[in-house]
Structure 1
């Protein structure tokens, strides 16, 4: 992916697409340097199926921070359906959005 998303939600959607396609390069590039992992191994990545945006706080093109809460569904190796529910934090620096971190939301 080469286009920089204009909003935190746009970045969240592009990161989901990158997880779905196994694009570790895009994921690392969109991770804020303060929390970015040294490497990202997607070899055990589940089969991501769908993304539902639950809540968005700020994160517009003119904001400097944003929060995106989402639910992402996936199939594990056994074909069982799972859900990742996370409230993610984003920051915009030099006109570009970065994923900072997130809190897993338990049922």
Structure 2
């Protein structure tokens, strides 16, 4: 049985975010990019995270904490991101387990198009 995609949309990883991670297709919307970035955290793919980060805010390197296990994603709201839009936002809550404790990251992330592709610009934590 194919591995379910961590982003929570239903299809297997290879048919869902795996296609974005391997470069087969680009993200069509800010929400799809955000879901694929969550999946990249879940599967441990820092190269994809860096590649989809806006050049003006992208860190030089990214080390993922191997002790953090991402356990679920809820998309709470989206704005913008239509076919001809240049920007959009995604509010989400990402659940994780680390150090024997459960936690969540609640954020409103901003995305912009660069060269026709969506990029993560930045986010505001919503505690």
For the superposition of Structure 1 and Structure 2, which TM-score range results when normalised by the shorter chain?
over 0.9
Shift of 1:93: 1.9
Gaps of 5+ in 1: none
Q: Which one of 55, 60, 64 corresponds to residue 38 of structure 1?
A: 60
Corresponding residue of 2:98? 76
Q: Distance in 2 between the 1:40 and 1:93 partners?
A: 21
Q: Distance in 2 between the 1:95 and 1:17 partners?
A: 22
Q: Distance in 1 between the 2:94 and 2:112 partners?
A: 21
Correspondence 1:83-94 to 2 at 5 A: 83-94=104-115
TM-score (norm: length of structure 1): 0.93
Q: Distance in 1 between the 2:67 and 2:123 partners?
A: 18
Corresponding residue of 2:18? none
Larger % of strand: which?
A: 1
Shift of 1:77: 2.1
The verdict on how the C-alpha distance between 1:45 and 1:91 changes in structure 2, with shifts beyond 3 A counting, is farther
Corresponding residue of 2:126? 105
Corresponding residue of 2:49? 27
Misfit runs of 4+, over 6 Å:
none
Corresponding residue of 2:30? 8
Q: Distance in 2 between the 1:105 and 1:46 partners?
A: 20
TM-score (norm: length of structure 2): 0.79
Gaps of 5+ in 2: 1-20
Higher relative contact order (CA 8 A, sep 6+): 1
